[in-house]
Every structure is written in structure tokens, then in C-alpha cells.
Amino acid sequence: MSKYMQLTVRIRPYYKKGLKSAYPRLAHRLAYLDEAWVEEGPSLFEIIGKLDQLLYQLEGDPPFREILLQHRSALHKLYEAIEERIADWHLSKADRLLYEIEDIFDEIEHELGGI
């Protein structure tokens, strides 16, 4: 690493009209916990990074909490795999895993329509 510079790789959100537009049911439920954070439009990757904290805070919303718990293991595995790919500079492999995260969040959004 350079003495005065460093390379960084970040996963940034890229919603055309924000999280509320891409995942309205998810955003609505998360806004009860932290509306300002939802307004900022966190990436799905960032949401997974806070998933355990969110689950703890969601004690008062059992149906939503249960849906997230069903997907927790898969999301955490993907999160860790992406961090590993980024650390190894396998960025195209990390990008492919981001699609899998989106698929799971699409499923969560669909499941939220049933509660």
C-alpha cells in the first residue's frame, strides 16, 4: 500500500428512485426503526450488515422479524462471501453475488405483501 494513498472498494446503493421505490414494503417496515436511515437509501449490503441489530429491534413486529429470520443465514453467507471476494480483488465474482442478494430481497418484498 502506498504511504499516502490507498485503493478502496465500496458497495454503494444504486436505486433509480430510492429504496422506498425499489422495495416499498421493506422500506415502510424499516422506517419504523430508523426513518432517516431509510431516507438515505442504504444498500441491501448495508442492510445485511445491520441485520442482527435490526432483528433485535424488531421484537415488536413478529411477522416481519420472522420473514427476515428465514433469510438470515443465506444473507449472512452471501455477505461474508462478498467481503471475501472483495478482499481477494475478485470483483466480478462479488458482483454476481450481489445479484443473489437482490433475489433474496425480492423474495422478502413479496413475502411482506402477504402480511
Residue pLDDT, tens place only, 9-65: 999 999 999 999 999 999 999 999 999 999 999 999 999 999 999 999 998 899 999
Q: What is the pLDDT of residue 112?
A: 97
Judge whether 78 and 97 are in contact, CB under 8 Å.
yes
Q: What is the pLDDT of residues 84-113, one digit of tens each?
A: 999 999 999 999 999 999 999 999 999 999
CA 63 vs CA 32, 48, 60, 66: distances in Å? 14, 18, 9, 5
Which grid coordinates belong to 94?
462479488
Which grid coordinates belong to 112?
411482506
Q: How far apart are CA 27 and CA 21, in angstroms?
A: 8
